[in-house]
Amino acid sequence: MSLNHLQQLEAEGIYVIREVAWRFKRPVLLFSGGKDSIVMFHLARKAFWPEPIPFPLLHIDTGHNFPETLAYRDRLVKESNSQLIVRSVEDSIAQGKAVEETGIHASRNKLQTVTLLDALEELQVDAALGGGRRDEEKARAKERFFSHRDDFGQWDPKNQRPELWSLYNSHHAEDEHFRVFPISNWTEMDVWQYILREEIPIPSLYFSHERPVIERDGILLADSPYLVKTEDERPVLKEVRCRTIGDMTCTGVTVSPASSLDEIIAEVAATRVTERGGRADDKRSESAMEDRKIAGYF
Amino acid sequence: MTTSAITHNSYLDMDLLRFTTAGSVDDGKSTLIGRLLYDSKSIFDDQVADLEKVSSRTGEGLNLALLTDGLRAEREQGITIDVAYRYFATPKRKFIIADTPGHLQYTRNMVTGASTADLAIILIDAKQGVVEQTRRHTFIANLLGIEHIVVCINKIDLVDYDEAVFNRIVADFDMVKKELNTDVTFIPVSALKGDNVVSRSEKLPWYKGPSLLQLLEGIQVRVPDAGELFTFPIQGRVGQNGNSRYTGRISSGVLRPGTTVRVHPSGEETTVEAIELYQEVKQEALPGESVSLQLSGVQLFNRGHLLADAEAKIRYTRHVLVDTCWFSETPLQKNHSYILAHVTGETSAVVAQVEDKIDFGNLERLKGEQTIGVNDIATLSLQLEEEIPAIAYRENRTLGSIILIDPDTHQTVAAGMIINRK
C-alpha cells in the first residue's frame, strides 16, 4: 500500500505550492498558457480549494503568442475567478529597455527576461512559482525547488543552497527573490499522464491540426506575421501539433496525427527527440539555457 | 490504439524508486548513469547528437558522463560540481536519480542526494578497492536512513573480469559495514563497456546475481513510516472560522475519517470529519499525501501545530541531540544563534556542545572537539529558543530532520537528524 508515482509527484507539488503561499509576502504564479503552467495552475487550485488561489498569475506577454493560448488563458482566469497580471515585452521595447532582434532568427524569447525582471521588481515579488522541470534541459537538471535569485534576479548555479528532505530555506535579503519549481521532479510523460488522469482541458494547439509551416534547420516553425522569412522560405500546409508552446517565432511544431490525450501519450512514449529539441531558443549554443537562466530567465 | 491503452493503464499506476549514487572522484559515477540511461533507451536522439558534438572535441569516444554534467564548468573541467537529477522509466518502474559528486569538498551534495533516496549505489574502482571515501559514503547513506545499498565494483574490465579482485573488495567492505543496519548487495560492473549495467554480462560467468537495472527494477522498498502512528504537521488553514480546512502532508501513518486526533502542543482532542483533496472526499489517506482536513468543533489551529494519533506520545523539548553534517565553509561558531528549520516551523538554536565527531579514517567517534567545519559529521547538542516536537529521525524522517540556517548570510550551513530527546 503506497502512493503511485503520479500521486507522489502531485503531493510534492501541492506541498511546495502551499509552502510558498504561507512563507512569502507577495508570490506570483508565472503563467504562459503552456501545459506545464496549466498543470501548475491546477495544482494551486487543488492546494487551496475551495478558496481561490491566494496569489495572482503573471503572464509575460511577448506579443507573439498563439491566439489559442491567449483565448485559453482568458477563459481559465474567468472561470476560476483568478487574478491575472500581464506585462508585455512590447512595452519594454517601447521604453527602450529591450531591443528587438532583427534577421530571420529574430525572437523575443531572450527579451522576456527584461520584462520578467522588471515586473518582479515593480510588483515586489518575493517568490515566483514556475513550471520548470529538471528533465527538460541539462542546466535545469541542477535546479533547486527553492532557487535563490540575487538582487539582479540572477542565478548562481555553482553556489546553490543544498536542499534536503522537504525542508526549504526561503531566507533572503531585501531585493532578492526566489524562483520556486514545484514540478521539478516531473517528466514530460508525467505531465501528460497527469493531464489525462485529472481531465484538465488544454489549448487545441497540442492536438493535431492543419497549419502553414516553414522548415528551417530541420525544425518546423508555424508561419505567422511575426516570423521573418527568407525569400526561399515558402509556407506549406501540414498536419502538426505543438509539443511545447512558447513564442510563435521559436516554438517548433511536429508533424503528428495525435488528436487525443491517449494518442499524445503513445507518441511521447515512442518519440526519439526531447521536447525542447524543437525549440530554436535552446539551439543557439550548448549552454543557451544555462546562460539565459543565469541572466534571470524562467 | 492497443499501444496507447497499454501505456495509459500501466503508466498511470507505476511505482517510483528514488536512488542516489556516490563514489570517489573518477570512479565513473556519471558514466554509470549515462550507461544506465543510454542502454535503457532513455536518451533521445538530439541528446546523443549533442553528445557526439561535444565528445568529438575531446577526441575520445562517446563520453556518456557528459549526459549528466549539465553546467558549462562541469563539461569543461570534466567533473561533476553539483547534484544532477535524472529521470527514466522502464516498463517495470520509474526512477529518479540524484547523481552526486565524489570530491571531498562536495560531500554535502552526497548528503543532499541521500536525503530523498530509498536506495544508494556506491561505486568502488576495482583497481583502487575500498578507500576512505567509500567509508564516508557508506556511513552517510546509513546515517540518512537508507536501507538498501548497492555496491557497484566498477571498471571490472580493467582487472580482467577477475573474481578474486571482486571477492577481495567484498571482504574489505565487510569491515566497513559491520556496524550498519543496511542491506548491502555487490555487483561487478563496467560502466564504460556496459557489463552488468542493464543486462547480465557473459564476461562475468562467475557472477550469478542480477544486473544493476534488474536489481533496481525488482527491489522491494519499505514504504517509509507507513506502519507508524498518524502524524500531520499543519501547513496552513484555508477558509474562515467555522468553515476551516487544515492543509498539510501526512508524515506518517494512515488516516481515516472519524479518527480522534490530538493537537500538539496544546493537547486538545478533535475528530477528523472529512479528508479532502479538491473535489475528492477520501476514505483513507497514506503517508506522503497532501490533503485538507475538516475537524470537529470550532477550532483555530494554525501552521506549526501538529496533529497526531491520540495514542502517540509526543514530547516537546528545547534540547535536542542531532547528528549533523556541516555544509558551510565557515566553521561552526558556538554561542552563535542559528535558525533551526523543522517541518513547517523555525526557531533559534545555539550549539551547547559538540558531543563527538566522526573520524572517517576508522569511523570512530572523537570526543572533546571544540568545533566542526565543512564536511564534518558530528553529534551536536542544541539549545532551542522554542520547543519542538522532537521525534527521532529513525522513527520519522519528516519530523526528525532539521536544517540550520545562518541568519546573517541566509545560507544553509548544516543538516541534521534528531537522535533522541532529553
Give the mean pLDDT of B146-161: 95
What's the pLDDT tens digit per position in B199-211? 999 999 999 999 9
Locate CATH 3.40.50.620 in chain A.
5-190+287-295
A68 CA to centre of own chain: 16
C-alpha cell at position A90 = 512590447
Q: According to the model, what pLDDT value does residue A280 have?
A: 61
Q: Give residue-wise pLDDT tens across range A164-219.
A: 999 999 999 999 999 999 999 999 999 999 999 999 999 999 999 999 999 988 88
Determine the average pLDDT of the residues in B34-61.
73
Pairing mode of beta strands B345-359, A146-149: unpaired
Answer with the residue of higher pLDDT: B89 or A20.
Answer: A20
- For chain A, say whether B289 makes contact (Cβ under 8 Å): yes
Asked if the Cβ–Cβ distance from B401 to A167 is below 8 Å, we say yes
Q: What is the pLDDT of residue B4?
A: 40
Question: CB-based contact (8 Å) between B112 and chain A?
Answer: yes
How sure is the predictor about B5, in pLDDT bands with cuts at 50, 70 and 90?
Answer: very low
Q: Say what the pLDDT of residue B136 is.
A: 82
CA distances from B200 to A46, B121, B125, B187, B205 (A): 45, 18, 19, 10, 9
Q: Tell whether B96 is within 8 A of chain A (Cβ).
A: yes
Predicted pLDDT at A286: 61
Would you state the pLDDT for residue B270? 95
Number of helices and strands (H, E) in chain A? 8, 10
Half-sphere exposure (CA, 13 Å, Cβ side) for B328?
19
Confidence category of residue B81, pLDDT binned at 50, 70, 90: low
- Residue A95 distance to chain B (closest CA, Å): 34
Residue A83 has pLDDT above 80, yes or no: yes
| Burial of B174 (C-beta count, 10 Å sphere; 0-12/13-18/19+) | exposed
> For B57-76, how does the pLDDT look when each residue is reduced to its tens digit (9 = 90+)?
666 567 777 666 656 666 66
Mean pLDDT value across residues B82-91: 85
A46 → closest Cβ in B277, B303, B398? B277
Q: How many CB atoms lie within 10 A of CB B247?
A: 27
Q: Which of A20, A164, A177 would you mutate first to test chain B, the one with the most B CBs within 10 A?
A: A164
Using one digit for the tens of pLDDT, what is the confidence trace for B322-378? 999 999 999 999 889 999 999 989 999 999 999 999 987 777 899 988 899 998 999
Say whether B412 and A161 touch across the interface (CB within 8 A): yes
Residue A132's nearest CA partner among A205, A30, A201, A63 is A30
Q: What pLDDT is recorded for position B3?
A: 40
Q: B316-421: same fold as B231-309?
A: yes
Rounded-to-integer distance, Cα A205 and Cα A66, Å: 8
Q: d(Cα B317, Cα A152) in Å, to the nearest integer?
A: 41
Of A237-241, B4-8, B56-60, B95-99, the range with the lowest mean pLDDT is B4-8
Rg (C-alpha) for chain A, rounded Å, is 19
What is the structure's pLDDT at B73? 66
List of chain A residues whose C-beta atoms are within 8 Å of the C-beta of residue B344? 19, 22
- Rounded Cα gap, residues B83 and B319, in angstroms: 33
Give the nearest chain A residue to B145 (CA atoms).
Answer: A165
- Helix, strand, coil percentages (3-state) for chain B, rounded to 5, are 25, 35, 40
Contacts with A163 from chain B: Cβ below 8 Å: 112, 412
Is A149 in contact with A5 (CB distance < 8 Å)? no
Q: What ipTM does this complex have?
A: 0.91
- How does DSSP assign A166-195, residue by residue? TB------TT-EEEE-TTTT--HHHHHHHH
pLDDT of B7 above 70: no
**B241, pLDDT greater than 80:** no
Distance in angstroms (rounded) separating the CA atoms of residues B252 and B289: 10
Tally of CB atoms within 10 A around A276: 21
Contact A3 B54 (CB under 8 A): no
Does the structure show a pLDDT above 80 at B24? no
Is the pLDDT at B54 greater than 80? The verdict is no
* Contacts A195 to B, Cβ<8 Å: none
Question: Could you tell me which chain B residue has the CA closest to the CA of A170?
Answer: B410
Residue in chain B lying closest to A145 (CA)? B85
Q: Render pLDDT for A271-294 as a digit per residue (tens, 0 to 9).
A: 766 676 666 666 666 677 777 777
Q: Which three cell numbers stand for residue B325?
A: 553534517
| pLDDT value at residue B226 | 60
Average pLDDT over residues B176-195: 87
Mean pLDDT, residues B238-251 taken together: 90
pLDDT of B6 reads 42
Count A/B contacts: CB-CB distance under 8 Å.
191
Question: What is residue A26's three-state secondary structure?
Answer: coil
Which H helix or E strand runs over A113?
A: helix A112-122
**Cβ neighbours of residue B265 under 8 Å, at least 6 residues apart?**
B305, B306, B316, B387, B389
B410 in A contact zone (CB under 8 Å): yes
Say if residue B19's pLDDT is above 80: yes
Residue contact B46–A173, C-beta within 8 A? no
Tell which B residues from 120 to 159 touch A, by Cβ distance under 8 Å.
none
Question: Mean pLDDT over all residues of chain A?
Answer: 90
The pair phi, psi for residue A189, each rounded to 5°, is -65, -40
d(Cα A192, Cα B12) in Å, to the nearest integer?
10
Kindly report, residue by residue over B276-320, the tens digit of the pLDDT.
Answer: 999 999 999 999 999 999 999 877 889 999 999 999 999 999 999
Angle at CA of residue B258, ends B257 and B262, nearest 5°:
105
**In this prediction, what percent of chain A has a pLDDT beyond 90?**
63
The C-alpha cell that represents A141 in the structure block: 537538471
**Which range is least confidently modeled, A31-45, B170-184, B373-387?**
B170-184
Q: What's the CATH number for A5-190+287-295?
A: 3.40.50.620
Please report which confidence band the pLDDT of residue A137 belongs to, taking 50, 70 and 90 as the band edges.
confident
- Measured between beta carbons, the chain A residues lying within 8 angstroms of B47 are 274
Which pLDDT does position B77 carry in this prediction? 62
- The Cβ-side half-sphere exposure at A235, using a 13 Å CA radius, reads 14
CATH architecture of B316-421: Beta Barrel (2.40)
Whether CATH 3.40.50.2000 fits B14-218: no
Instruction: Report the alpha-carbon distance of residue A116 to residue A30 in Å, rounded.
Output: 9
Q: Give the largest CA-CA distance in chain B.
A: 73
The verdict on B49 touching A (C-beta cutoff 8 Å) is no
Contact B407 A265 (CB under 8 A): no
* pLDDT mean across residues, chain B: 87
pLDDT beyond 80 at B102: no
Q: What is the mean pLDDT of residues A84-95?
A: 94
Of A6, A141, A196, the CB nearest to B86: A141
- The answer to whether A266 contacts B286, with C-beta atoms less than 8 Å apart, is no
Cβ distance B209 to B215 under 8 Å?
A: yes
Cα four-point dihedral sign B66, B71, B76, B80:
negative
Residues in chain B: 422
Q: What is the per-residue pLDDT for B182?
A: 79
Classify B390 as helix, strand or coil. Answer: coil
Contact B108 A162 (CB under 8 A): yes
For A11, the closest of B46, B109, B290 (CB atoms) is B290
Query: Would you list the domain boundaries of chain B?
Result: 14-218, 231-309, 316-421
In which band, very low, low, confident or very high, does the pLDDT at A124 lie, cut at 50, 70 and 90?
A: very high
Q: In which band, very low, low, confident or very high, does the pLDDT at B246 lie, cut at 50, 70 and 90? A: very high
Task: Write down the pLDDT at residue A42.
Answer: 98
In chain B, residues 162-221 whose CB comes closer than 8 Å to chain A? none
Q: Is the peptide bond before B389 cis (omega within 30 degrees of 0)?
A: no
CB contact under 8 A, B115 and A6: no
Average pLDDT on A102-108 reads: 84
The CATH superfamily label for domain B231-309 reads Translation factors (2.40.30.10)
Instruction: Assign B321 a pLDDT band (cuts: 50, 70, 90).
Output: very high
